[in-house]
Structure 1
Amino acid sequence: MTSTTLQLSNNRVAHYLEAGAGEPLVLIHGVGMQALAWYPQIDDLSADFRVISVDMPGHGESTALEPNADLTQFVAWAIEFIEALHASPVNLAGHSMGSLITAGVAVTRPDLVRRVAALNGVYKRTPEAREAVLQRAAELRSGSIDIETPLKRWFNAEEAQQAAALKVESWLKSVDLAGYATAYTAFARGDEVYADRWPAIRCPALVLTGSDDPNSTAEMARQMAQAAPNGQAVVIENERHMVNLTAPVEVNRALRAWLKTATTPETIKLEV
């Protein structure tokens, strides 16, 4: 696995981890995480694909966006990153906020996306759920960070889950608070930005979550998949929000099946 940076506009850099060769698979993590949060997928899928896991702006070693950046600006960043790779169309997968970004790329620049996957994404939150994430965003902007609450929500007491929880805890403790707050605010306000445009996603679309994820629910996953012409929902039983870490075998199996899904000239436009 190699560590690389790409120079983007406005003197910004995007840092990513890369492994393997073949059809490109770009991975975008969730808020507070970093490129390494996809380590089970990098390890497995790089045997057959060129896996590129990028640090979201303001996370890891990637330059932050301006403090008031909204979801559309994160989508614009992802588009610039993919274009700079000179590897499009790519398979594009995101987790949590990364799912909002990947959906935004798929609807605004379908020529860049061969297939799209949304893991533990959110879709048209209830007013109560939206208020809860907005409150957390406000706390982050004030300089307060609560690590214990999400850990308790994302992991159960099983030994394997707690091993993953320790990694997540270390990433949350090392994240730049300003970059975290910017991304989380965009995440809190972003669940409806592209929600009504899922019918425009014509490429194969995998929507995956855990049955016990209270915020990225199974019903949300089914609604997104039903809205996309070539959508498929996968719900992994007894799993929560960090399903790619806690159920890597099942997640990797679903991703491999998605990556084998046939595409047609009507669903992708190859770069020339």
Structure 2
Amino acid sequence: MTRTRSAEEKALRRRERSIAALEPWRVNGGHPLKVREMRTAINVLLAAKGLPIKACSKCHKLKATSAFNRYKSSDGFASYCRQCNADTHASRMATEPAYAERNRVWSLAYYWDHAEERRQYSLDYHRRNREANMVKNADRVQDPNVMKRCKGQCGRTLPETSFRLDRGNKDGLRFKCRDCADSSRRARTACRNAYGSPVGQPCYLCQKTFTSEVKVQADHLHPTSLGGADDAANLWWAHEYCNINRHARLLTPEEWDRVRSLQRQAASAPTQTKEPTP
């Protein structure tokens, strides 16, 4: 009888301890990961077993460690998963002006501090790709039975024989067909002879001033695919990105007024940088 009562008392005490341990879960919504101590204990246990799993402190879900950013913590990972971190950042950017301004200043400083590294990385990346493409396309020839879409203003789908070889590109061909490439060359010469160098002049689409001639194109105001000519009256300088995004879109009246004003100012300038004659 005594032994039975003792077993019953032990079971009762065990039950009471279990209820006491579960009480923080009930207080915090019935979820063990909402209790910081329990969440830490679970993360330590998972790490000790060598499992690549971690509990997020924000959404209270078990996720793979690949879903967390690296951080200088005891386990080497941030407490929030990437999704929760992104949601929190977006919410603060929308509701806290001081936080948004601090991030804007930091982003600009980081961008310019690492501009040279980014430029060098881009140059190395494209150089490696071009060298690999040169090897891959060493025996490349145009196949008249294979079609390719021109990325120039014509936008036509033509046989590969309509494109010049450029073995440094991925497919071994130039992006523009022969007609568009020749038209671009004539347009650039005519635009330079009429309006001078693009440096110091604005792009008529984004209105930003050119600081160099890199990735600057002479854009046809009236697209060549719609009958536009290569004469100076139908040309003005544009960034390569702006020109590609515009494609064959017709200009708005505001854009026409802007580009005509730019043409008149450039034509009346006292000094012109002409294209050297061969």
Asked if Structure 1 and Structure 2 have the same fold, meaning a TM-score greater than 0.5 normalized by the shorter chain, the answer is: no
Higher share in helix? 2
TM-score (structure 2 length as normaliser)? 0.22
Is the radius of gyration larger for structure 1 or structure 2? Answer: 2
TM-score (structure 1 length as normaliser)? 0.23
Larger RCO (CA within 8 A; separation ≥ 6): 1
